[in-house]
Amino acid sequence: MPTVVRSHAKINLGLYIGAPRPDGFHALSTVYQTLELYDLVTVTARPAVATALDLTSNDSRVPTDARNTAWKMVALALDALGLSAEVQIHIEKRLPVQGGLGAGSANAVAALVGLEAELGIPQSLGAPGPASGTWDSNNSSPSVLRGSASWRAKRLQIAAQVGSDVPLFLIGGAILGLDRGQQVYPLPDFEPTWCVVATPETGVSTPQAFRDWDALCQAEGLTAESSQDKLNELSRAYASAFAGGIPEGRPGDGSSGVLAAGEDLAGPQESALVRTGISSWIQNDFERVVFPQHPPLAEIKRLLAGSGSPEAALHASLSGSGSALFGLYQSCGDAEAARERLRPAGVASTLTRTLPRSAYWRQMLLQ
Ligand code: C5P
């Protein structure tokens, strides 16, 4: 019986980038936040003498071979488990394909979760936090699975090998991302918040954005060492701001699940984004190099923000290196007003909400 897994999108609530490191990567400090938007990843797997992978998609732009992140993840996981299997993966693209939403990285984690379900590895062995159940690890089970902590650590390691923003999807909710983005720490969630994702047709190349960032660092005399202090300071600021979390009994604590459409999720109370002051200082460094190259994107941010209007965003930003942008809003009405502002500019947008960790895991397996 195939396993169908939701593969959720993410946005970056702030993204601070350091100067280039000798290994070619950049240290960064970001808060990833998962969204309700998702692709569907269907996995069928059965033990076999030799491993054989087959990948299909409803979207012809998705690579169907070893270049695909889901393919890489499953191949590495089987290797780590010391298992051989025949695996079929189907990726149904529903998310906008624009960069910045982590869609390909999320697909990799969804494929892993599907593989685990198909092979009878309980989700509790992989989900973050202490394992809620124990697995009957008899002598014939792969040794990496004896003890949930070791498999949790191993799958994070595999995810980091596949890409810098893959491990975040093994945590879900609000996540602090450090080092090259692959070092992930769960943060206390804030209440589900209305979000408009704008998906302009512009394509932004992430490697090019990093190269432009490098030129800026050189011009400003920023070194990997000098930027590290700033990144450490920002990481501490994130951690303490999010420590406020969701006050008890507020929506989004995981007990209430998804609220009714049309309901103002942030409620009459002030959103945590405002209450904690985060919205006043977070920024995405990529905007400094991407907006000058693609001026229409700066204009879309302005439309999402709606500054000065009563329906202004709590926060609006480029996500990752773009070209997707997002705005977060106090109410559904404010979010709809932002979509209205985008319409005359011919910019496609989607209405969604931020997805806390508990709901992320509860909703992940569809069947
Ligand atoms: O890890 P990932 O495959 O997502 O990285 C793609 C490219 O983006 C890397 O080869 C590197 O050039 C750049 N990158 C970076 N610093 C990061 C993450 C990615 O320079 N923190």
Ligand 1 site, residue 25, Cβ cutoff 6 A: yes
Indicate which residue's Cα is closest to atom 3 of ligand 1.
Answer: 163
User: What positions carry a catalytic annotation?
Assistant: 10, 165
Distance CA 113, CA 77 (A): 10
Residue given tokens 């993966």 in the structure block:
89
Rounded to 5 degrees, what are φ and ψ at 11? -125, 170
Q: What confidence score (pLDDT) does residue 132 get?
A: 37
Testing ligand 1's pocket by substitution, the residue of 25, 32, 72, 228 carrying the most ligand atoms inside 8 A of its CB is 25
Going by CA atoms, what residue is nearest to atom 2 of ligand 1?
Answer: 163
- Ligand 1 atom closest to 206 (CA): 8
Residue nearest ligand 1's atom 21 by CA:
180
Span from the CA of 64 to the centroid of ligand 1 (angstroms): 22
Among 164, 182, 284, name the best residue to mutate to test ligand 1's pocket (greatest count of ligand atoms within 8 A of Cβ).
Answer: 164
What is the distance between the terminal CA atoms of the chain, rounded to a whole angstrom? Answer: 9
**Ligand 1 close to Cβ of residue 185 (< 6 A):** no
Name the pLDDT band for 275 (thresholds 50, 70, 90): confident
Signed CA dihedral, 77, 79, 82, 87: sign only:
positive
| Ligand 1 pocket check for 26: Cβ under 6 Å | yes
Q: Which two tokens stand for residue 10?
A: 């993410």
Q: How far is the CA of 174 from the centre of ligand 1 (A)?
A: 21
Q: Distance from the CA of 104 to the center of ligand 1, in angstroms?
A: 14
Compute, in angstroms, the gap from residue 90 CA to the centroid of ligand 1: 26
291 CA → ligand 1 middle, Å = 20
Counting from 1 in the atom list of ligand 1, the atom nearest the Cα of 17 is 21
Q: What is the pLDDT of residue 277?
A: 81
pLDDT of res. 242: 82
Our answer on whether the CB atom of 210 is closer than 6 Å to any ligand 1 atom is: yes
Find all residues with CB under 8 Å of 306, minimum gap 6, and list them: 312, 313, 327, 334, 337, 338, 341
Q: Is the CB of 22 under 6 A from ligand 1?
A: no
Beta strands in 48-160, from DSSP E residues, in sequence order: 52-57, 85-92
* 135, pLDDT greater than 50: no
169-191 pLDDT per residue, tens: 999 999 999 999 999 999 999 88
Cα-to-centroid distance, 350 and ligand 1 (Å): 27
- Distance separating alpha carbons of residues 319 and 323, to the nearest angstrom: 7
Query: From the CB of 72, is ligand 1 less than 6 Å away?
Result: no
Q: What is the pLDDT of residues 21-74, one digit of tens each?
A: 999 899 999 999 999 999 999 999 999 999 999 999 999 999 999 999 999 999
The percentage of residues in the chain with a pLDDT greater than 90, rounded to a whole number, is 71
365: which strand partners?
5
163 lines ligand 1 (CB under 6 A): yes
* Average pLDDT of every residue of the chain: 87
Task: Please tell me if the CB atom of residue 181 comes closer than 6 angstroms to any atom of ligand 1.
Answer: yes
30 lines ligand 1 (CB under 6 A): no
For ligand 1, the distance from its centroid to the CA atom of residue 25, given in whole angstroms, is 6
Q: Which atom of ligand 1 is nearest to the CA of 164?
A: 1
Nearest CA-CA partner of 293 in 197, 222, 198, 216: 216
Token pair of 72 as six digits: 């890489």
Please write the tens of the pLDDT for every residue from 211-266: 999 999 999 988 888 889 889 999 988 888 887 654 443 333 333 333 333 334 44
| Distance from the Cα of residue 321 to its chain's centroid | 13
